[in-house]
Amino acid sequence: MNHGLPLLLLVDVPQRTVNAITAELAATTEIIQTTAEDVLAYTGGTPGRRRPTVVVVGETVTAPVGVVHSLRPHPADLAVAVTAVPATQDKLAVLPLLFSDDVVRRVRGGETALRMPRVVSELLQQLTRRRAHAAVQAVAQQRLSSGASIDRQLGERLLGRFLTQAPIGVLMLDGDAVIAWNRRAADVLELTEREALHRPVSALFPEDQRTALHHHLAAPGQHRAAEPDAVFERVRGDGTSQALRMAVQQVLDAEGRSRTLILTEDVTDRLHAQRKLAERTVHALLTAEVAAAMTAPGPLNERLHRCVRAATDRLGADRVCIWSLNTRGELAHANCAADDAESPDTSSCHTTQRALAEQVVTSCRPHLTDIPPRTDPGGQAPHPSQPSGSGSSFAGFPLVSGGELLGVLSMTTRLALPGSVLATLENIADQIAVGTQQDRLLNRLREATRALERPLLPPRLPDLPGFDLAARYTPFSHGLHIGGDFYDAFTAADGRHVLVLGDVCGKGPDAAAITGLVRHTLWTAAQHTSDPAHVLNLVNNALRRQNTPFCTLIYVVIDTAHTPARLRIASAGHPSPLLRRTDGDTAPLETRGTLLGVLDTPHLPVTEVELRDGDTLVLYTDGFTEGAGAADQRTPEDLAAIVTSLPPGDASHPARDMATALMDDAHRWWGGRLRDDLAVLTLTAVPAATAPHGRSEEGADTSID
């Protein structure tokens, strides 16, 4: 037997498990295979004074609890690992009530060969640490008894029985020197060497922590009451990091001398969890900020700047850039943010990031690399933007949406880039790509919308001698919305002037197509004759042929061969026009006709009126009377009363002032309830002396609000 090595007893252990344990621990332990009947012969002696021994009880032992009891396990020198199988599960259920986990461990039978070597190794290390701690205590006691220059011994005589057995680590200092510690402190701080006695407590921590630790130990009592403990980090013997919370108290020993008592707790797992939670919170906030920016209204460039600014601030990056691809597939710098400037110099983006971003474009995959320290042109000194001897990391992610490569999101940083940061960058790259793609699609749709809107309104209103003509048009919503209201004014081949204002059923591209059909049919038919019956019947036939929804409109022919001018008005299911006389009296005109596009032969009576100098004809769409829906309406008589109340306006542009006043009134009346387009066309007969002068080449006034 080799009594210098720890003892490992394998009691009725299957050969497979024996082989696994032997392969792992044969070099550092004495291994003996025995039976439940013979194991006591190897575990004799006084508990607490035996050599370190671990007993492994196999799954075939019929009375494992009785065997454990007979071994008398002791935390200082004997521990037991018991194999638990279904046959003994009920019997072993009482073990946690009788023995703590650091003395007796249960290992499930299906995992014995895999887990047992590690469990045995942990128990042996635990016994070894406790044996070393006991040896240090014994040496200290011996030196005290011999009169050596040691102030106090370790253990119960200095700390007291309560602190010695406390589940939290306890250190006692004489100044900065460690003079006592309990078992938990020995385990936590790995105090297994005799040299630990009188060793400065700061020596247990790395240099970057020592100044803060000295300050914590020397803090005055009133400060410590406000902040009684602090967390310090160190590196364990196995190279892993450890976080310790340390509370400091000044105490008096049994002889009245001042000592420093440190209560230390391992909070590594808690600190890592807190940091992980904080990191996830930061990443969640960044993701939310990018999502809010990319879905907000406004120019794309401003929204991209919000994204790179948020990424720079949240991730502590040196610089974050967004690169876009133009129509030729060339990489262009679009936006960036740096940690040290509100408006960063983009030249550094081109010198440090451009080539790396191009690699992302080439591969269409994320690219991660290290960037060496930048030097001056002579290659002697670090670039001012980087500390001496420092490099940085680069991370680039392609901006891909719908299978289309739109650009690159890149970041440079002197910090580490863990997987969680890279995952967050990839996530926000996807958000930026989707937002950019949506912006491009919306721009294309806006261009298509503008192209479809062109047929709705004339490019300009004609200049009609002896008349002031004006129009105002407000679509229900701007951007991608295409309204159904339209108007037109032109001079027919027979010399008569024609005014048209209408409303097709529906909105959007279909309505735009119908509007184009109606306007062009009106103009083409009027080139033969401007007669309302001829023109409107052709429009009705065109709508019926295309099987389109219905259309309402007012058709006005102005015959200037008579003095005053004579108006021939036909209404196809449209709201009654208003006629305001020179004295301000206003009334709706009786014009009733059937919708266009519904009947094969529509009924379209013609109303004739004279338009004297100063009289105004007002044509409007149903947005002025039903702007908030059928349940909330205004009548033509209501509008007539409003027109009557309006002042005469500018004598040079009475029609323009009338159209503007009616549009302003409609917006005030409906406010946020408005759900329809608004279009108004006004015509005022003016004496030759007051006819508008100085008009632009576009002729009469027209406006889209």
SS (H, E, C) 52-87: CEEEEECCCCCCHHHHHHHHCCECCCEEEEEEECHH
What CA–CA distance (Å, rounded) separates 131 from 52?
8
Please determine, for residue 667, whether its predicted confidence score (pLDDT) is greater than 60. Answer: yes
Confidence of residue 455 (pLDDT cuts 50, 70, 90): low
- Across the chain, mean pLDDT equals 84
pLDDT number for residue 384: 42
Highest mean pLDDT out of 156-170, 182-196, 259-273, 604-618? 604-618
What CA–CA distance (Å, rounded) separates 26 from 8?
9
What CA–CA distance (Å, rounded) separates 700 from 683?
10
7-129: CATH topology = Rossmann fold (3.40.50)
Please determine, for residue 637, whether its predicted confidence score (pLDDT) is greater than 50. Answer: yes
pLDDT, tens digit, 9 for 90 and up, residues 262-272? 899 999 998 88
Please determine, for residue 583, whether its predicted confidence score (pLDDT) is greater than 80. Answer: yes
Please determine, for residue 510, whether its predicted confidence score (pLDDT) is greater than 80. Answer: no
What's the rounded mean pLDDT across residues 327-347? 79
pLDDT, tens digit, 9 for 90 and up, residues 50-90? 899 999 999 899 899 999 999 989 988 999 999 988 888 88
275-450: CATH topology = Beta-Lactamase (3.30.450)
Please determine, for residue 482, whether its predicted confidence score (pLDDT) is greater than 60. Answer: yes
Please determine, for residue 485, whether its predicted confidence score (pLDDT) is greater than 90. Answer: no
Which residue do the tokens 């420093």 mark? 260
Eight-class DSSP state of 294:
H
Please determine, for residue 154, whether its predicted confidence score (pLDDT) is greater than 60. Answer: no
Confidence of residue 689 (pLDDT cuts 50, 70, 90): low
What CA–CA distance (Å, rounded) separates 376 from 385?
11
pLDDT number for residue 701: 56
Count other Cβ atoms within 10 Å, centred on residue 211: 10
Cβ(354)–Cβ(331) under 8 Å? yes
Please determine, for residue 31, whether its predicted confidence score (pLDDT) is greater than 80. Answer: yes
For residues 3 and 22, the model is more confident at 22
pLDDT number for residue 156: 47
Confidence of residue 21 (pLDDT cuts 50, 70, 90): very high
Count other Cβ atoms within 10 Å, centred on residue 87: 11
Please determine, for residue 7, whether its predicted confidence score (pLDDT) is greater than 90. Answer: yes
pLDDT number for residue 690: 60
Across 398-433, b (16+ Cβ under 10 Å) vs e yields bbbbeeeebbbbbbbbeeebeeebeebbebbbbbbb
For residues 384 and 17, the model is more confident at 17
Could you tell me if residue 399 is left (phi over 0), alpha (psi between -120 and 50 degrees) or otherwise beta? beta
What CA–CA distance (Å, rounded) separates 705 from 700?
16
Confidence of residue 468 (pLDDT cuts 50, 70, 90): very high
User: Is 177 in a helix, a strand, or coil?
Assistant: strand
Could you tell me if residue 77 is left (phi over 0), alpha (psi between -120 and 50 degrees) or otherwise beta? alpha
Confidence of residue 254 (pLDDT cuts 50, 70, 90): low
Cβ-Cβ contacts under 8 Å for 547 (sequence gap 6 or more): none
pLDDT number for residue 149: 37
pLDDT number for residue 194: 66
- Spatial CA neighbour of 588 closest among 522, 534, 652, 634: 634
457-704: CATH topology = Phosphatase 2c; domain 1 (3.60.40)
Please determine, for residue 223, whether its predicted confidence score (pLDDT) is greater than 60. Answer: no
Please determine, for residue 537, whether its predicted confidence score (pLDDT) is greater than 60. Answer: yes
pLDDT number for residue 697: 34
- Give the DSSP letter string of 79-147: EEEEEE-GGGHHHHTTHHHHS-TTTEEEEEGGGHHHHHHHHHHHHHHHHHHHHHHHHHHHHHHHHHHTT
What's the rounded mean pLDDT across residues 203-226? 77
Confidence of residue 475 (pLDDT cuts 50, 70, 90): confident
pLDDT number for residue 477: 63
Confidence of residue 492 (pLDDT cuts 50, 70, 90): very high
As given in the structure block, the two tokens for residue 316 are 């502590």
Peptide bond into 52 cis (omega under 30): no
Please determine, for residue 566, whether its predicted confidence score (pLDDT) is greater than 50. Answer: yes
Same topology between domain 275-450 and domain 457-704: no
pLDDT number for residue 609: 95
Q: What percent of the chain has pLDDT over 90?
A: 41
For residues 507 and 664, the model is more confident at 664
CATH architecture of residue range(s) 151-266: 2-Layer Sandwich (3.30)
Q: Which residues on adjacent β-strands are paired with residue 684? A: 468, 616
What CA–CA distance (Å, rounded) separates 146 from 252?
24
Residues composing the chain: 705
Confidence of residue 670 (pLDDT cuts 50, 70, 90): confident
pLDDT number for residue 385: 42
Domain range annotation of the chain:
7-129, 151-266, 275-450, 457-704
pLDDT number for residue 693: 47
Whole-structure pTM value: 0.52
Please determine, for residue 501, whether its predicted confidence score (pLDDT) is greater than 90. Answer: yes
Please determine, for residue 170, whether its predicted confidence score (pLDDT) is greater than 80. Answer: yes
* CB-side neighbour CA atoms (13 Å) of 687: 5
What's the rounded mean pLDDT across residues 557-584? 93
Confidence of residue 432 (pLDDT cuts 50, 70, 90): very high
- Spatial CA neighbour of 623 closest among 639, 643, 647: 639
Give, rounded to a whole angstrom, the gap between the first and last alpha carbons of the chain: 103
Q: Which residues on adjacent β-strands are paired with residue 54? A: 8, 79
Radius of gyration of the chain (CA): 46
- Spatial CA neighbour of 92 closest among 82, 101, 100: 82
